Amino acid sequence: MKAAFWRFAHRRYQTRRPRLLFEISAFLWGGLFLFLYGAALCMNFRANLPVLPAGLILSFVPLALGFLHRRIRIEWLKGGDALYRKRLATNA
C-alpha cells in the first residue's frame, strides 16, 4: 500500500507542484463536519444508521486526504527527485 501511494504521488506530482489550497480546503471541510457532528452528538442527536456512515465519510475522508497530500507536499519540498527516491525506497 505504501509503495502504491508513493508511486501515485510520483506519477502525479513529478512535473507540477502540490497545491497548498487543496490541503487547506480538505482540513476545513473535514473540520467543519467534525464540528457539526460533534455538536449534534453533544445535543443528544441520535444518529440513525444512514446518517452515521455519511457523517463519517464527510468528515474523515477529507481529513485523510489532507494528511496524505501534506505528506506528499513535505516530501516534494525536499528536492526535485525526492518523490522518485521515496518511490524507489518503498519498492525495495
- Three-state helix/strand/coil letters over the chain: CHHHHHHHHHHHHCCCCCCHHHHHHHHHHHHHHHHHHHHHHHCCCCCCCCHHHHHHHHHHHHHHHHHHHHHHHHHHCCCCCHHHHHHHHHHC
Digit-by-digit pLDDT tens for the chain (92 residues) are 899 999 999 999 988 889 999 999 999 999 999 998 888 878 877 766 677 788 889 899 999 999 999 999 999 999 888 999 999 999 86
In the chain, where the domains are located? 2-91
Q: What is the pLDDT of residue 51?
A: 76
What is the per-residue pLDDT across 67-83, written as a single tens digit (0 to 9) for each? 999 999 999 999 888 99
Q: What is the pTM of this model?
A: 0.83
- Asked if 66 and 30 touch (Cβ cutoff 8 Å), the reply is yes
